Amino acid sequence: MDRRMLPPLSRLPAFEAAARHESFTAAARELGLTQTAVTKQIAALEADLGVRLFERRNRAVFLTDAGRAFGRVVGTALADISAETARLRGGRAAGGLVLHCQLCEAFYWLMPRLARFHERHPGLEVRVISALAPLIAAPEPFDVAIQTTGRPSGSARLAFTASDEIFPVAATGLVPADALPLPVARLPQYTLLSHQVLPQDWLDWPDWFAALGHATPRNARLAGFDSFPLVLQAAVAGQGIALGWRNTVSGLIADGKLVRVCAEAVFRPTEISVFRGTRSGNHPETDALLAWLRDELAEPGRH
What H or E segment, with its residue span, contains residue 160? strand 157-171
pTM over 0.85: no
Beta-carbon count within 10 A of 127 CB: 14
Residue 17 CA to residue 32 CA, distance in Å, equals 11
Please tell me whether residues 157 and 194 are part of one structural domain. Answer: yes
Residue 239 CA to residue 171 CA, distance in Å, equals 8
3-state SS of the chain: helix, strand, coil percent to 5? 45, 25, 35
- Counting the structural domains of the chain, the total is 2
Please tell me whether residues 75 and 108 are part of one structural domain. Answer: no
For residues 49 and 7, is the Cβ–Cβ distance under 8 A? Answer: yes
Looking up residue 82, the CATH number of its domain turns out to be: 1.10.10.10
Strand 221-225 with 191-195, pairing: parallel
Domain of residue 196 covers 96-303
The residue from 53, 88, 123 where one domain ends is 88
Q: Is the per-residue pLDDT at 111 higher than 60?
A: yes
Please tell me whether residues 169 and 253 are part of one structural domain. Answer: yes
Please tell me whether residues 166 and 223 are part of one structural domain. Answer: yes
Please tell me whether residues 68 and 104 are part of one structural domain. Answer: no
Please tell me whether residues 192 and 83 are part of one structural domain. Answer: no
At residue 84, the pLDDT reads 67
17-30 pLDDT, tens digit each: 888 888 898 888 88
Please tell me whether residues 213 and 302 are part of one structural domain. Answer: yes
The residue from 88, 118, 142 where one domain ends is 88
Please tell me whether residues 74 and 125 are part of one structural domain. Answer: no
**End-to-end C-alpha distance for the chain, whole angstroms:** 51
The residue from 37, 56, 88 where one domain ends is 88
At residue 301, the pLDDT reads 45
At residue 170, the pLDDT reads 98
282-299 pLDDT, tens digit each: 678 999 999 999 999 986
Looking up residue 265, the CATH number of its domain turns out to be: 3.40.190.290
Among residues 105, 111, 113, the alpha carbon closest in space to that of 151 is found at 105
For residues 244 and 266, is the Cβ–Cβ distance under 8 A? Answer: no
Please tell me whether residues 156 and 55 are part of one structural domain. Answer: no
Q: Is the per-residue pLDDT at 124 higher than 60?
A: yes
